Amino acid sequence: MEVRRRQPIGVELVKRGIVTEEDIEKALEYQKEHSTRKLGDILFILNLCDAQDLINAIGDIVGTPGILLTPDRVKVDLTNYMSIDIAKQNKVVPFDVSAGKVKVCFANTANNRQIETIRMLMLNKGLVMEKYITFESEIERILKNFEGEASTDSAGVNATGATITSLIDSIIKTGMEKRASDIHIEPMENQIRIRYRIDGVLVDAGTIPKDKQSQVIGRLKAISNMHQEKQISQDGRIVLYSDYNIRVSSQPNIYGEKFVLRLLKKNADIKQIFDLGYPGDEHSLNKSINKRNSITIIAAPTGEGKTTTLYSIIDFLNRPDINITTIEDPVEIRISGLNQIEIDNAKSTFSGSLRTVLRQDPDVILVGEIRDLETAEIAIQAGQTGHYVLSTIHTIDAIEVINRLRKLGVSDYDIASTLATAISQRLVRRLCPKCKRERDFTQEEKDIIMSISNKYNLGINLEGVKTYDAVGCKHCNKTGYYERVGVFETLDITDDIKDLIVKGASTLEIRNKALENSYRPLIADGILKVVNGITDLKELNNKLIIF
């Protein structure tokens, strides 16, 4: 431990009667082989005097309260205040917070620059810092414990000593580590807010001082290949990270320019469709999707996993004897054995690329999205001429796919003759397997579940069945949930439903006919996932509003 004092620390401690001259000689002998250790720490390590008396004396000498910091005295999660890297670099541990003040322990109070960096970091979190001093070896021990439990926390982006380049890099890398799908960098009135979308939910991650705003915006535009001087909505890409494609969108608001970074892992593993939560087995899946001369459309709002499901279906169908071509915006995952085409809206479109693909002898065609009548008509044509087409569309459920195609201008005859399957989905968060806590269903929960079960003939029996509470731990970032699972509904276009479509029947009539067969709405699959302990009623209600 380093202290600044005209007289050597050893002399001061001897004068105060804390140690003897012989103790100092032993410490100096030890220091010959451990030159980076300060004398105060060596006296503590060698247990040559009472530890509490020693740290109190050192604190008095340097003018900072001394504390014997043991793990049980640390009352806060360090990673809520700074990253492990910053704590290690500055040899510092925040250990208690109350009434707007944070108590922070240093191993070295002689480095004013270090202390000021941490003070500003705490101020950025709205806290006044109270400074303490302790033994460096104790700080090392506590940080080692934290390092084993937590990854680098995004709060570290607030360090005022960081360059803008390293600051932006830290924000992005932390997002990757935390499994974020998007990073929001948002100018506010007095600061810049950083948020991560993790498992579909936005999570506050920290702030950047307002005076850094122009530098942050300049750096983001530079690495995204955007125009620096233009304050208009722009799109760009970051290609600095070997494992990720990062799409960037900027949008001016009243306090500056907001950026959203979409993190797309280049070589992400494709999950089997049943791992995504798709109900049924291979036989039922084959019956629904493995059809020539037809179209399968996956429907859901933005951000509900349509593309992931498309990839899983393509992976399920992929084999050497068929030619699969995809048209995507962008190509999110590269799959061996596929011909993948990326749309550049400045030079190509879905409809234009689809025309070309039809001359490439495809068996299966994946069209990223049906956005307009032209694309829909060419996809229909492809489905009617011996191809199997997979695509997505934005609607609320599988039945509404029919209505959406009608509104785009597709005829009832073409829909009935070509649409084979409509799949709709939502993503709900999985209960964290590390911390979920078992309990009995309440009577109110049982009533909700049995009402849905009876309505859709699900045959649920709750006798002896338990549910789980979302608790929260380090593994799930204290949310109680970890990753997401799909809730699905599948509408197979049977002959009865084709007849209704051709006659121009309403979606209500089509829904009633579908319910007489195998169709079950999203809520039915969701309730089964609650009963099976995969998610809970609260999370399901957030997506489907069932009570």
pLDDT given at position 289? 85
Q: What is the CATH number of the domain that holds 410?
A: 3.40.50.300
The pair of structure tokens assigned to 496 is 């009865």
The pair of structure tokens assigned to 289 is 């999707």
> How large is the average pLDDT for residues 352-367?
90
pLDDT given at position 345? 61
The pair of structure tokens assigned to 63 is 């003018």
Say what percent of the chain tops pLDDT 70: 95
Domain that holds residue 177: 162-265
Domain's final residue, options 207, 235, 265: 265
Q: What is the CATH number of the domain that holds 245?
A: 3.30.450.90
Please check whether residues 427 and 536 belong to one and the same domain: yes
> How large is the average pLDDT for residues 135-145?
86
Quote the CA–CA distance of 307 and 310 in Å, as a whole number: 5
In a domain, 196, yes or no: yes
Angle ∠(325,239,332) on CA atoms, nearest 5? 25
pLDDT, tens only, 186-209: 999 999 999 999 999 999 888 899
Number of other CB atoms surrounding residue 433 within 10 Å? 12
Instruction: Give bridge partners of residue 535 from the DSSP assignment.
Output: none
Quote the CA–CA distance of 191 and 184 in Å, as a whole number: 14
pLDDT above 90 (res 225): no
Q: What is the CATH number of the domain that holds 112?
A: 3.30.300.160
In a domain, 155, yes or no: no
Band (pLDDT 50/70/90 cuts) for residue 162 is low
Is 299 strand, coil or helix?
strand
Torsion of Cα atoms, 513 then 517 then 520 then 521, to 10°: -10
What does 75-126 look like in DSSP terms, one character per residue? -S-GGGTS-HHHHHHHTEEEEEEETTEEEEEES-SS-HHHHHHHHHHHHTTT
Nearest residue to 524 via CA among 390, 397, 431, 391 = 397
Amino acid at 71: P
Please check whether residues 111 and 168 belong to one and the same domain: no
In a domain, 345, yes or no: yes
> Number of structural domains, the chain?
4
In a domain, 156, yes or no: no
Please check whether residues 418 and 534 belong to one and the same domain: yes
Please check whether residues 327 and 467 belong to one and the same domain: yes
pLDDT, tens only, 394-446: 999 999 999 999 999 999 999 999 999 999 999 999 999 999 999 999 999 99
Please check whether residues 129 and 16 belong to one and the same domain: no
Nearest residue to 146 via CA among 76, 92, 84 = 84
In a domain, 513, yes or no: yes
- The pTM assigned to this predicted structure is 0.67
Please check whether residues 132 and 176 belong to one and the same domain: no
DSSP E strands: which ranges in 180-276? 182-187, 191-198, 201-209, 234-238, 244-253, 256-265
Quote the CA–CA distance of 370 and 390 in Å, as a whole number: 10
422 and 492 Cβ atoms separated by less than 8 Å = no
pLDDT, tens only, 337-354: 889 988 866 567 888 888
Domain's final residue, options 235, 265, 295: 265
In a domain, 270, yes or no: no
In a domain, 2, yes or no: no
Domain's final residue, options 232, 265, 298: 265
451 and 520 Cβ atoms separated by less than 8 Å = no
Please check whether residues 446 and 429 belong to one and the same domain: yes
Please check whether residues 344 and 400 belong to one and the same domain: yes
Please check whether residues 208 and 320 belong to one and the same domain: no
Please check whether residues 122 and 188 belong to one and the same domain: no
Torsion of Cα atoms, 153 then 156 then 162 then 167, to 10°: 60
Please check whether residues 36 and 76 belong to one and the same domain: no
pLDDT given at position 79? 76
Please check whether residues 131 and 167 belong to one and the same domain: no
> How large is the average pLDDT for residues 229-246?
87
> How large is the average pLDDT for residues 512-516?
95
Q: What is the 3-state secondary structure (H, E, C) of 308-330?
A: HHHHHHHHHHCCCCCCEEEEECC
514 and 422 Cβ atoms separated by less than 8 Å = no
Number of other CB atoms surrounding residue 71 within 10 Å? 12
In a domain, 276, yes or no: no
The burial of 546, by beta-carbon neighbours within 10 Å (0-12 exposed, 13-18 middle, 19 or more buried), is given as: middle
Say what percent of the chain tops pLDDT 90: 51
